[in-house]
Structure 1
């Protein structure tokens, strides 16, 4: 039976990782002795390379995929009144954006030293220094300034609510936001305190059209809260599963936006480490918003943290060989393959089986995948990170210059001037049809948001748990 036919899409991918050094050594040993059988399929005969998206390509507009048969973007859904602009800042409020928390992949540090410089490749200084960037946190806002409109999703120790600024509601504005809520005791139990702090530190300073925006953070006695931009189109994962797979042209549009986002993050020495369709949200115009920075980290060379989603892990992560920016480019290859084929290149019923297949490096190539697309995926999925596309001498520029992206107007794309292939259709500003419909939390579960409870720092008694989140 063709292996392409046995993959079944999970509702949410597993986040388990090797639990011991022995397990990882066993996987490396097994992978070093692959069997002689190959499932690689060779395409005979030339195939015309796929077209590239262009700013004024009329054929694109005619064949664009439109969610729910709606092809026209409703500009009212992105309008924010002057009052909200003055309180949240004008620079990043051109339209509703969002984040949704999926099942949290737990990321555990092996030791205190998070990075180490390799003797063969000394680290280069970053193009930008994150600490020198302005912090875009609005300290004048309070939790009580927002009203809950719905639930967008829930994960291991977090949930995301749709909220609206009360003053905007009274004036008839459509300013909606995503409020990510994380339970303090769970963060501490799962040893994720430093990762949550890193998420706030990074998101409060980065600003890019394809990265979710963080506007404010709060806390009460139970939770910490992150006010993020809202994207009504939901996860790309949902649209991909509905379509089955994307054409090379549609894939190119989304992959190009991700490449620009990674190029921007890498300029600060930020590695993202959790690229997958579940963490890619569509805004009201159909553009990608990279979300969930729980694994993001500033690393000048390599880190030995074990984290990620099994299907998207680079070999160096599994082998505990230290990883950095090249791991993000590997994930780009997995994502490109999954979008064009409909399933990831390495899958199995268990995480252990997935790791074995990644280390063996065998990829099933569908007969209808054109050679240029295959060449791109191979470039990203090179097991030797020194030869991996995106990590060559010209860095991300090699990705932009790859023939597969020929014809892409990168500047126009970053200005969001190219028509997106999937345009979300919503009937109202608080239409959450592209998100999981879940009941609202009880008032006792989010006291600061629904009851106006003061944060622990303002309470009379000393809160030992809240003390660990003084940054919020």
Structure 2
């Protein structure tokens, strides 16, 4: 059968109130270069409601109407580029999981029992020299920085510095998300998750010092290859599953899985990044967040969601890697939601039976019957016949050769990222000059008070 070409645009996942500002790259860790403009949505819409659901008294759910892909029934032939970071996070919808009908499930491990890995008191912002801008976004940017006084770049002295403007975080009601991202990343350590080493703040910004992952986004490599073979897909999906298994052991749901949030290191292994939507959830939560093409039915229907939403996203990602575009796409987010709820998937004739079987198992509309959310949890995924022959322990030890080895000349190589101008010194004051303790009246600034942990 004729295969549709890859769709032309990708929506992305920033909180809804960001949709009116230009954004050339997401604010995770370092992000890849893409020649794309910012597609402004035509106004807020709400997702379809589940049968019998009443929206009386519910807070509005506002999202950006521009999806990751647009272009009608069949995707256009041009390679996709980044569109807006579609906003689907609404603080007002965040309901405590204790209100769920089912009994909360205690985590296998408690995050508060894990060591806090952040460096405290030994580093200052002025210890770093800005080497370049890797990406920009609505309320900040990502910089490549190197420790001063070091010559040869190495993984010990080159970092991605995520810079977020405090006033914008407060204005956009993302304080809770930013603080949760810091807390989670300060305690998790896994070979397939980006590392957070330290956090700082100055009079304008908060800063997150993250590992620099020089190989670029999986998105870029997938678009270059158009689609991956089942074997290549199996390698990448297996690393993601190990990362999710680790996160889920703490009852952390990630909620923003997509190729743009998967970075390749110099050896070709994936690192999961951008934990802005990650949350510790013992049972279910009602926050509407994620990327339209990757939202599970229970998120769209406001039925409450948990770990099963991450396994649904694995199915979408597996399909996108094998076929070249996601199973549900449309010009508008509303159209995407309708197709997700209908659940009709176009299966290429050449797709093998086992690949189709695991995708269908991930994309089961009933979360109680979805692979990964059954009695065996993540172990059911590892035991699926599609993964037969995978040495999971060797993979986690990174002993298997990756299918794509990014061309990286040095550990500070930025060829896979945007080449953007350096920010003005006035926008990163703490990196230019060490700031003195604020005056007494400034210490009670409301925005500064909300980032006491930084």
Q: TM-score, normalised by structure 2?
A: 0.82
Map of 1:10 onto structure 2 = 9
Decide whether aligned partners of structure 1 residues 378 and 106 sit closer, same or farther in structure 2, where only a CA change above 3 A counts. Answer: closer
Mapping of residues 340-419 of structure 1, within 5 Å: 340-419=322-401
Deviation at 1:270, TM superposition (A): 0.2
Q: Which residue of 2 aligns with 1:303?
A: 285
Distance across 2 between alignment mates of 1:129 and 1:258: 21
Distance 1:420 1:154, change over 3 A: same
Matched, 1:109 2:132: no
Give CA deviations for 1:361-415 in whole Å, capped at 9, x if unaligned: 0101011111110000000000000000000010000000000000000000000
1:454 offset after TM fit, Å? 4.3
Write the distance in 2 (CA, Å) between the matches of 1:470 and 1:443: 24
Partner SS for 2:198: strand
**Any unmatched runs of 5+ in structure 2?**
17-40, 54-72, 74-83
Structure 1 residue 453 displacement after superposition: 2.6
Structure 1 residue 431 displacement after superposition: 1.6
Matched, 1:466 2:448: yes
Aligned counterpart in structure 1 of residue 129 of structure 2, from 147, 158, 164: 147
> Structure 1 residues 115, 462: closer, same or farther in 2, change over 3 A?
same
Partner residue, 2:171:
189
SS in 1 for 2:203: coil
For residue 326 of structure 1, what is the aligned residue in structure 2?
A: 308
Q: Please identify which structure carries the higher helix content.
A: 1
Deviation sequence 1:181-238 (CA, Å, 0-9, x none)? 0111111111000000000000000000000000000001111000000110011001
Larger Rg belongs to: 1
Partners of 1:219 and 1:455 within 8 A in 2: no
Q: Are 2:296 and 1:314 equivalent residues in the alignment?
A: yes
User: What's 2:26 paired with?
Assistant: none
Partner Cα distance (2:220, 2:440) in 1 = 42
Structure 1 residues 123-272: aligned runs within 5 Å: 123-139=104-120, 140-169=122-151, 175-272=157-254
8 Å CA contact retained: 2:49, 2:301:
no
Name whichever of 431-440 and 416-425 sits farther off: 431-440
Change (3 A) 1:377 1:371: same
| Distance across 1 between alignment mates of 2:231 and 2:291 | 26
- 5+ residue gaps, structure 1, are 31-38, 40-101
In structure 1, what is the Cα distance between the partners aligned to 2:48 and 2:356? Answer: 31
Contact 2:47 2:334 in 1 (8 A): no
Distance of 1:213 and 1:459 partners within structure 2: 35
CA gap 1:405/1:218 in 2 versus in 1, 3 angstroms: same
Query: Partner residue of 2:67?
Result: none
Measure how far apart 1:10 and its partner are. 2.2
- Shift in Å at residue 437 of structure 1? 1.6
Contact 1:137–1:217 under 8 Å retained in 2:
yes
1:29–1:177 distance in 2 versus 1, CA, 3 Å? same
